[in-house]
Chains A and B, each alone.
Chain A
């Protein structure tokens, strides 16, 4: 099969060179890029229209059973982590690497060749060119000018020829000097260029895409994302990793929440969440920081973010004259009574906040509501023990997001590089100017691959300046 017909691409002659070669050239081809990128785009769309990471019930309430089976079969419930999506990205990396490396090696080979000065005919055929007739120079100008030339010319020019020719060429070279760099010189003329950095743009862009993907890969392989919930005063040394089965991830140090505050705007919208957190490493407090949204804590490569907050109630009971503080799920026993705090409700049938207590009545489980604002339901006798709900307090807790991502610096480097690459590729232009002695005078000609219109203007300006100097 003849895969590639493009003169820009590496191997041109598909069919005759065997199967492995045509596979290679397909893998490195832009046609394959178009195919892969389109598939990645379409695959990504699935992930935005189908709910991601839902439960079986959620899907079955939205789709038929067969559709649901298809969704799970294709991994569309977690599209961006499915095998086919990773596969597409891997193929894309292969495609981009082969294509870029192939081009880069050819580029290096090309740039090792000596720049060459085209002959007079070629220069005069160029779209942008003009001639300066040195014989027409005003004789009076030479003495002053030739002094300058000999100064400037020591390292730049060792020209043969008449005074006027030397003068003209010196003047041209000097007028271009600020912006153009002389890359090649011979007795007949010189080649100058500028913006040659822009030729590296494509390689920088492509390499940084690979770098970004590598950094992302390093992050998923070597890092983790978890969370931690801390009440005021509480400390923990491990994060929880979400998933069907939550896993504990030791941090190597502990975090203690000293304080948590929420402030509000006058209208009631949240303005700021602040957790004051201590880092305790090896039993010592090494760091204290106020963590806010947009202002995480970083310690030993682990980042701690303010993510959410909530309230946990605590209940102050008076049990047979004794004050007892209990939280949800706590159990307590006294005499014959074994009780457990089941759950808290902010309003129980419009009677205000209440707490549900479970207890054993002669071995049989029973439940009973205690309501803070209803005197009759505030105190009760269970199993012969007097219990009274004295107070309900709501403590704030902070929800922290915890992540470790050793790849993030690779990604940042890639970001900076790709922007730099885009800049030099699109906003710097590689332009060449040839200066050559011709039969009628000195020929100045220019070429540019990109941004030709702008170059035409620049070239006209150069010509204007030189003509001005002539007079």
Chain B
């Protein structure tokens, strides 16, 4: 087994461990436990990054030489990695264990799905000519950072609909976290769509061709634009706006998974 696989395996276990740390916190309610959780998250992110880098190095050894951003397996791993980065970027706003708990579960799901699902190709594949572009890196990274921010928005939106004293943060805080994560995600998604368009222009001769993945990312973008306007201009608050953010995330999921499995298009993750 290659080193990158081994390390990414450990990283997967660490996400499970993070989940248990949260459970321990809810059992004992000691603030030190959450401090320990953040430290573990930093370590996990470090190893996760190392795993990705080693996979990159490994691809050079195989004579294929490309960043680990090219197939469905790699995109799942990068998605999990992006969720951790966004957690750390937004740390100041996320001092609520329930949010980091759900986020670590989502990372665990992404990593576990990547390494266990029989339908996911795990070996390093060669890069088809259309993907051999520097735009690949910036496009994929901005998109997944955006998707990761929307994970937080989704969690905040869902929790808004639930009441559970002592576990769920106050509603105003959830609303604020939701907005904050969309403020991070929306510009990133815009950058992702735009870099994708520039890349498509250089690879195919057309910056926009209404391919299903492009179209769904536009739909996602429109939903979050509606969120921003409903909140800022129409002054929507509460449940209604939480539902818009949940709808936005469903659209993210469809853009990422649904398009691959249900619709077909130019994008290489489609199998």
Chain A residues with CB under 8 Å of chain B are 6, 8-9, 30-31, 33-34, 37-38, 40-41, 44-45, 47-49, 52, 80, 216, 225, 265-267, 269-273, 292-296, 303, 305-307, 401-403, 405, 408, 411-412, 415, 418-419, 422-423, 426
Q: How far is the CB of B154 from chain A (nearest CB, A)?
A: 18
- Chain A residues in 8 Å Cβ range of B128: 269-270
- Asked if A266 meets B63 with Cβ closer than 8 Å, knowing A8-B233, A41-B223, A272-B129, the reply is yes
Q: Decide: B187 and A426 in contact? CB cutoff 8 A.
A: yes
Complex Cα–Cα for A48 and B218 (A): 12
- Chain B residues in 8 Å Cβ range of A305: 203-205
Question: Could you tell me how many residues of chain B have their Cβ less than 8 Å away from some Cβ of chain A?
Answer: 42
Answer whether residue B126 sits at the interface, using C-beta atoms and an 8 A cutoff. yes
Answer whether residue B186 sits at the interface, using C-beta atoms and an 8 A cutoff. yes
Q: How far is the CB of A300 from chain B (nearest CB, A)?
A: 15
Q: Which of B194-216 contact A (CB under 8 A)?
A: 194, 197-198, 201-208, 210, 212, 215-216
The residue that A40 contacts in the complex, of B129, B204, B222, with Cβ under 8 A, is: B222
Q: How far is the CB of B236 from chain A (nearest CB, A)?
A: 10
Q: Decide: A48 and B216 in contact? CB cutoff 8 A.
A: yes
Complex Cα–Cα for A305 and B129 (A): 12
- Chain A residues in 8 Å Cβ range of B202: 294-296
Q: Decide: B208 and A292 in contact? CB cutoff 8 A.
A: no
Q: Decide: B225 and A37 in contact? CB cutoff 8 A.
A: yes
Q: How far is the CB of A458 from chain B (nearest CB, A)?
A: 14
- Chain A residues in 8 Å Cβ range of B186: 422, 426
- Asked if A265 meets B64 with Cβ closer than 8 Å, knowing A296-B205, A415-B197, the reply is yes
Complex Cα–Cα for A308 and B219 (A): 30
Answer whether residue B190 sits at the interface, using C-beta atoms and an 8 A cutoff. yes
Q: Other CB < 8 Å A-B pairs besides A293-B129, A294-B133, 10 of them?
A: A8-B233, A44-B215, A47-B215, A80-B210, A293-B130, A293-B203, A296-B202, A402-B205, A418-B190, A418-B194
Most buried by B among A273, A294, A307: A294
Complex Cα–Cα for A292 and B132 (A): 10
Q: Decide: A415 and B194 in contact? CB cutoff 8 A.
A: yes
- Asked if A34 meets B207 with Cβ closer than 8 Å, knowing A293-B132, A419-B187, the reply is no
- Asked if A403 meets B129 with Cβ closer than 8 Å, knowing A41-B222, A41-B223, A48-B215, the reply is no
Q: Decide: B64 and A303 in contact? CB cutoff 8 A.
A: no
- Chain B residues in 8 Å Cβ range of A403: 205-206
- Chain A residues in 8 Å Cβ range of B129: 270-273, 292-294, 306
Complex Cα–Cα for A418 and B129 (A): 30
Q: How far is the CB of A185 from chain B (nearest CB, A)?
A: 33
- Chain B residues in 8 Å Cβ range of A412: 198
Answer whether residue B270 sits at the interface, using C-beta atoms and an 8 A cutoff. no
- Chain B residues in 8 Å Cβ range of A295: 202
Q: Decide: A401 and B215 in contact? CB cutoff 8 A.
A: no
The 15 sampled A-B contact pairs (Cβ below 8 Å) are A30-B233, A41-B218, A45-B215, A48-B259, A266-B63, A270-B128, A292-B129, A293-B130, A305-B203, A405-B206, A418-B194, A419-B191, A422-B186, A422-B190, A426-B187
Q: Decide: A9 and B130 in contact? CB cutoff 8 A.
A: no
- Chain A residues in 8 Å Cβ range of B230: 34
- Chain B residues in 8 Å Cβ range of A408: 201, 207
